[in-house]
A and B are shown apart, each in its own frame.
Chain A
Amino acid sequence: MEQRTAALVSSPEEAEADLELMARVAASEPSAQRVLVERLSRRVRKVTGLLCRSAADADDAAQLALIEILRSAHSFRVATSLERWAERLTIRATLHAVRRERNRRGLIERWLSPDLLPWGGPTTTPATDQIGLATLLQRLSSDRYEAFVLHHALDYTVDEISELTGAPVGTVKDRLVMARKQLRRFLDADLAAGRGKPR
């Protein structure tokens, strides 16, 4: 929590510089827009990569998020750090894109053979492969996965996750509990199979 608190607020000098940058972005100044996008793109892509299940989806979501960040520049306030503000917009954009993609996928999958997967990984994992953490997480349902990543990877509180996902606080807690139990089972099975540490 200590690290997170530090990341929430910029120093006064940084805040002033950020405000100026965002004012220029809000005024549609191309050079400022480029500076902002290049500054945030790594973090944005990291967050979308965590929340999306395929690289293609994560790239799309990163673009959508950056567009939203540029278009929302006028609403930036100095109370939070620019990075944290951008991260919240990125999460919202990504969750929205993920849900939309899920709906679309549901439509399209009706047209495909059951053994063809247009997105994501193969239907089964070879038994001989070492199971990495990413693989374990991929087995969680989308709702649990989102809550788990937001809380344990991105340090959002249960209340914040409730606000970001639109799910009640109790539901978020339930998702976190179930995700942990599921992960526990995967880890136990993995340990019993004699495989190494999660990658």
Chain B
Amino acid sequence: MNARERWEELQQRWAQGESLSPAEEQERLDYAAHDPRARRELEAFAALRAYAKAEGEPLSAALIDGVLEAVADGARLRAVTERELRVQPAIPSRRMGAWFVAAASLALAAALGTFALASPGTPKRLATSGPSVAQAVAARFSYAELVLTAGEVLVDGKVRRVDRRALRAGATLTTGDGRACFTVEPAIDVCLAERTTVLLEALAAPSVRIRVDDGLALASLSRRRPGSSFALLAGDLSATARGTIFSARRERDEAEITVVEGNVQVARGGVSSQVGTRVRVRTGRGGALRREPIAADDEARLLRLRPGHALAITAALGFLELDSKVPGTSVSVDAGPRFPLPLQTRIGAGRHLLSWHDATGQRLESWVDVAAGESQRSSAPLGRTAEVAPNLALEKPSAASLLDAARSELGRANPRAALALYEKLRASYPASSEAHTVLPTVGRLRLDLGDAVAALRAFDAYLARPGTLAPEALSGRIRALRALGQRSSERAAIAQYLARYPKGLERPLLERRLAELGGP
């Protein structure tokens, strides 16, 4: 291997996040001083890093005010300002003349009632003033996405789970024995009962329409902007709202609209009337419309179509996936309604209470921590034992099985789930040897997840009764102290490590760190 190939190898390892030894790092930098190509690459990386570290421009006062107003309003609507989307004519290609680009712009703009002026032959960005073509087109679509599926849910006849894919206009959603919720942005949640089929008839703003072909759908929406509306359709009934909770149900020839909260405009055959809170309008076989108040039970039944947790698509949401090996098991989240399994849902970051119910009526509660933007998987804790003996469903898993499960989560790069299992093992079997052995791993996970205080506690606990993992625990303790900024304790811990493990793997790094700290 020549010097160039050696550098390529080192650079590749460095670029994919691998730690190089101090000698390798020096070798990587030294070589670049003599090779223009290598130097150029290092300069590019350095330029990017320098740009990222440099202080950025402040946000404009208007944007900041928009943020503060949005938070003060408590609105679910996240679009704080209208995006200023502008058409940029492409650089005229050799294939296509500049005049064609301009003509295309004008044709499209005219079709949408706006004007985009393009200056032929100008190779730089050209922005239109006022409403732009793209803005007008963008305003024509509402983004829709599945945010909860429980049991089997079909989209256009194919099984679909919660993912990050958009639902398209014209799609049909069907729930068998399962349940589903989807969000239409901004701020419309639609939840479907079992054995329901809906058609996403129109996702074009300002008029979003969902048709209930069969079954029951409940919509919750925050207040629309003037000119925007949302409609649920059932049979020949349509219910249009601008901010409310209401449902539509259709069963063979019967259709009904129930308003749980707010006011809804119900129309049929060109005649419309306003329907207020806790009122139901239904059509019968004779075709006559009946209006009747709803009972508290009916209202509660409808509201239980919604999960107990927020569904809006935000960054503070994580993703929860629940399953069970035992048929007939259901689960409720945060004391909300029960859902069949498997359940996939977006859910707010934080700790959530899961109540598992098996077919025999037994119930078991557990907690799950969901971090923003992360996925968390959990299986019914009554699964394994219930398969053997249903009456022993509440028997807790063994220390070994918890350890296996934690290692398995670690193998899937899911540190939070692994940590939860390790902690569960320690809580369930505090006197076991496993509870002590996992302490260095717990400390390392805590440290990786940013909790240096808890990490230090775990390392100290292990070192109070040290075993074969003492070097790892001491090394972890040093990292935790460093993260906490406790320099004198860190210095003492490094000295301790070097004295105890003179041939330890981390000796070179720790000696360098000790020098930085001003130690001997």
Contact = CB atoms under 8 A, between A and B. Distances in A.
Partners in one complex: yes
Contacts of B68: 30, 33-34, 37
Given A116-B89, A158-B16, A33 B83 contact: no
A113 B191 CA distance: 37
B364 interface: no
A88 B80 CA distance: 21
Given A42-B56, A68-B315, A112-B137, A119 B452 contact: no
Contacts of B49: 152-153
Interface in B432-479: 448, 450-454
B64 A183 contact: no
B52 A154 contact: yes
Interface string A2-45: 00010011011000000000000000101001100110011111
A56 B85 contact: yes
Contacts of A82: none
A79 interface: yes
B116 to A, nearest CB: 8
Contacts of A84: 450
Nearest to B483: A9
Interface in A75-114: 75, 77, 79-80, 84, 89, 92-93, 95-97, 99-100, 103-104, 106-108, 111-113
A168 to B, nearest CB: 6
Nearest to A1: B19
B451 A103 contact: no
Interface string B408-428: 000011010000000000000
Nearest to A80: B450
A143 interface: no
A113 B123 contact: no
Nearest to A164: B373
A153 B49 CA distance: 5
B485 interface: yes
B41 A184 contact: yes
B492 to A, nearest CB: 19
Given A59-B59, A124-B90, A187 B44 contact: yes
A46 B53 CA distance: 9
Contacts of A179: 15
Nearest to B108: A113
Given A118-B133, A157-B17, A191-B40, A46 B52 contact: yes
B37 A5 contact: no
Given A75-B349, A93-B315, 5 more contacts: A115-B100, A116-B89, A116-B90, A120-B88, A176-B16
26 contacts: A42-B55, A44-B59, A45-B57, A59-B81, A62-B59, A63-B59, A63-B81, A70-B71, A79-B450, A79-B453, A89-B315, A100-B143, A112-B108, A113-B108, A116-B105, A118-B85, A124-B91, A126-B91, A137-B48, A162-B413, A173-B17, A176-B15, A188-B37, A191-B40, A198-B43, A199-B47
Interface of A: 5, 8-9, 11-12, 28, 30, 33-34, 37-38, 41-46, 49-50, 56-57, 59-60, 62-68, 70-72, 75, 77, 79-80, 84, 89, 92-93, 95-97, 99-100, 103-104, 106-108, 111-113, 115-124, 126, 133, 136-137, 149, 151-154, 157-159, 162-164, 166, 168-169, 172-173, 176-177, 179-180, 183-184, 187-188, 191, 197-199
Interface of B: 11-12, 15-17, 36-37, 40-41, 43-45, 47-49, 51-52, 54-59, 63-64, 66-68, 70-72, 78-81, 83-91, 93, 96, 100-101, 104-105, 108, 123, 125, 133-134, 137-138, 141, 143, 164-166, 168, 313-316, 349-350, 372-375, 412-413, 415, 448, 450-454, 482-485
